[in-house]
Amino acid sequence: MADLYMKALESERRSLWAACRLKGLAKDTPERLRIAEIDALLSDHKRKKSV
């Protein structure tokens, strides 16, 4: 079965990353901080899923 939570996080991350690349945003902007937060959520979710 598809993991909709993980797909939603990955989709949001891809769109934020694309926007950051287009705008040339610095590392401390809210968008880049959200990407880091999504990375942490994804790794935590994958860890829980594998257990």
Q: Domain extents for the chain?
A: 25-51
Contact 16, 31 (CB under 8 A): yes
Please name the amino acid found at residue 42. Answer: L
The per-residue pLDDT for 49 is 85
Write b or e for each residue in 4-37: b if 16 or more Cβ atoms lie within 10 A of its Cβ, otherwise e: eeeeebeeebeebeeebeeeeeeeeeeeeeebee
Tokens at 20, concatenated = 């950051």
Low-confidence ranges of the chain (pLDDT < 70): 1-2
The per-residue pLDDT for 51 is 80
The per-residue pLDDT for 8 is 95
The per-residue pLDDT for 22 is 94
